[in-house]
């Protein structure tokens, strides 16, 4: 079966490159993936695969039923949305939708899942059970397409035994894949602080309440939540990327705004940290004569890869690709809405190498020059089909 899948992946490879380039040329933002969905639906129609569309606006759920005995369902998922980035690549298929770019590889994920779909559809007579194919919108935007699709029943009737998702990794050489059993990617929440003081002449600080100095102390104090309050066994990051105080050299403004993120790997600690952020920011502002409004926008939970499913998937990847092509990954503080699936059913979110230094494909995700080596599509499609087949 391994050879069969490899051959089919080889056969469909050129088409997958075409599909990926089509997606790349025509990127669409979160919950606006209408043409993207149309393109996928046309292929499913052509292949005679039944599906439900417009799940969570643009999502698609398709099914392939094996012809042998079996009643398991295995889910495979790809995300569909692009990012608000102006592409700076110079290849022949750069974005035709100005200011929107597939800079996170979701074009590769969709083309790979289409490849796995085509391969598994060819192999219907060889397995029993059902493959559920999930084309999911809006991974990049809260509350996340995964959350919305789950609300619309994507994990029901019946509940899949397992779900697989893959994501490109520009640090990993093309041809390779990586796995991490257990906790893999962090929960993420956005922090919005508005510090209110009283503005006035910078030469008369005693007559004002300086929101910039208060906000500065809040930022420093919040770092201590990580170093002094977080249990050392739990990874946690608090970072601020925005600090706006619109005064001048001689004007103290009325308020300062700070925006940041908190990422961690424990739900109880996450809740406690939110309280601490609120208490610290409000307390410091009050002590210094000002006020602080705290808003924490709760994002995705952490991604947990089911231990036994992921260890087994890694073993299967070694069988499919060879041991030298499969690596272990560290946990990371980036986030993914695949987390929602993984919190409900056994999930395995693994990484697909797309790096090629000779071709200059070394830029990171969300970079305006990010590009993926398309050789990865063969592995992306074939391995996913192999993992699903072996689960049934
Ligand atoms: Ni992504």
User: Are 43 and 73 part of one and the same domain?
Assistant: yes
pLDDT of residue 60: 98
In the residue annotation, 139 being an active-site residue is answered as: yes
Measured distance CA(63)–CA(21) in Å, rounded: 25
pLDDT of residue 311: 98
Burial of 127 per CB tally in 10 Å (0-12, 13-18, 19+): buried
Which residues form the domain of 346?
2-185+302-391
Average pLDDT value for residue range 287-301: 97
User: Are 345 and 285 part of one and the same domain?
Assistant: no
Give the domain-ending residue among 247, 270, 298: 298
Nearest residue to 175 (alpha-carbon basis) of 315, 377, 376: 376
**Cα 257 to middle of ligand 1, angstroms:** 28
**Cα 162 to middle of ligand 1, angstroms:** 20
Residue 109's pLDDT band (cuts 50, 70, 90)? very high
- Per-residue burial over 27-57, b if 16 or more Cβ lie within 10 Å, else e, is bbbbbbbeebbebbbeebeeeebeeebebbb
Give the domain-ending residue among 298, 326, 351: 298
> How confident is the model over 165-211, as pLDDT tens digits?
999 999 999 999 999 999 999 999 999 999 999 999 999 999 999 99
Q: Which phi and psi angles does 383 have, rounded to 5°? A: -65, -40
In the residue annotation, 81 being an active-site residue is answered as: yes
Two tokens, residue 248: 């001048």
- Structural domain count, the chain: 2
Residue 130's pLDDT band (cuts 50, 70, 90)? very high
User: Are 227 and 122 part of one and the same domain?
Assistant: no
Burial of 179 per CB tally in 10 Å (0-12, 13-18, 19+): buried
Exactly one of 28, 33, 79, 81 is catalytic; name it: 81
pLDDT of residue 116: 98
User: Are 82 and 154 part of one and the same domain?
Assistant: yes
Q: Cα dist. 335→25, 318, 338 in Å? A: 26, 26, 9
**Cα 290 to middle of ligand 1, angstroms:** 40
User: Are 236 and 317 part of one and the same domain?
Assistant: no
> How confident is the model over 340-370, as pLDDT tens digits?
999 999 999 999 999 999 999 999 999 999 9
User: Are 243 and 167 part of one and the same domain?
Assistant: no
User: Are 11 and 116 part of one and the same domain?
Assistant: yes
Give the domain-ending residue among 270, 298, 326: 298
CATH code, domain with 366? 3.40.630.10
**Cα 167 to middle of ligand 1, angstroms:** 7
Exactly one of 139, 140, 306, 373 is catalytic; name it: 139
Nearest residue to 349 (alpha-carbon basis) of 185, 233, 223, 190: 185
Q: What is the CA radius of gyration of the chain?
A: 24
């Amino acid at each position: 079966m391994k050879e069969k899948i490899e051959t089919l992946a080889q056969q469909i490879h050129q088409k997958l490159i075409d599909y990926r380039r089509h997606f790349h040329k025509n990127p669409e933002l979160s919950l606006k993936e209408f043409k993207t969905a149309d393109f996928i639906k046309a292929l499913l129609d052509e292949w005679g695969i039944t599906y439900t569309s417009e799940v969570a606006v643009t999502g698609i759920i398709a099914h392939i039923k094996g012809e042998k005995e079996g009643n398991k369902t295995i889910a495979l998922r790809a995300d569909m949305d692009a990012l608000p980035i102006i592409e700076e690549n110079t290849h022949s298929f750069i974005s035709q939708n100005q200011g929107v770019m597939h800079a996170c590889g979701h074009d590769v994920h969709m083309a790979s899942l289409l490849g796995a779909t085509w391969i598994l559809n060819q192999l219907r007579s060889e397995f029993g059970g059902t493959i559920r194919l999930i084309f999911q919108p809006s991974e990049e935007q809260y509350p996340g397409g995964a959350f919305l699709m789950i609300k619309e029943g994507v994990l029901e009737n019946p509940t899949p035994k397992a779900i697989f998702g893959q994501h490109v990794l520009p640090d990993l050489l093309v041809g390779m894949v990586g796995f991490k059993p257990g906790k893999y990617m962090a929960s993420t929440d956005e922090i919005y602080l508005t510090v209110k003081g009283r503005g006035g002449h910078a030469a008369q600080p005693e007559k004002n309440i300086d929101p910039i100095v208060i906000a500065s102390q809040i930022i420093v104090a919040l770092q201590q939540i990580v170093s002094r309050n977080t249990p050392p066994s739990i990874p946690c990051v608090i970072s601020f990327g925005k600090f706006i105080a619109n005064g001048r050299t001689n004007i103290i403004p009325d308020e300062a705004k700070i925006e940041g993120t908190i990422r961690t790997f424990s739900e109880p600690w996450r809740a406690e940290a939110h309280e601490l952020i609120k208490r610290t920011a409000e307390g410091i502002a009050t002590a210094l004569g000002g006020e602080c409004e705290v808003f924490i926008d709760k994002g995705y939970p952490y991604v947990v890869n089911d231990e036994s499913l992921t260890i087994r998937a890694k073993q299967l990847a070694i069988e499919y690709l060879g041991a030298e092509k499969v690596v272990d990954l560290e946990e990371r503080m980036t986030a993914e809405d695949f987390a929602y699936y993984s919190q409900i059913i056994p999930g395995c979110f693994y990484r697909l190498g797309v790096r090629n230094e000779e071709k200059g494909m070394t830029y990171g995700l969300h970079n305006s020059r990010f590009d993926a080596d398309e050789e990865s599509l063969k592995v992306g499609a074939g391995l996913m089909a192999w993992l699903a087949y072996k689960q049934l």
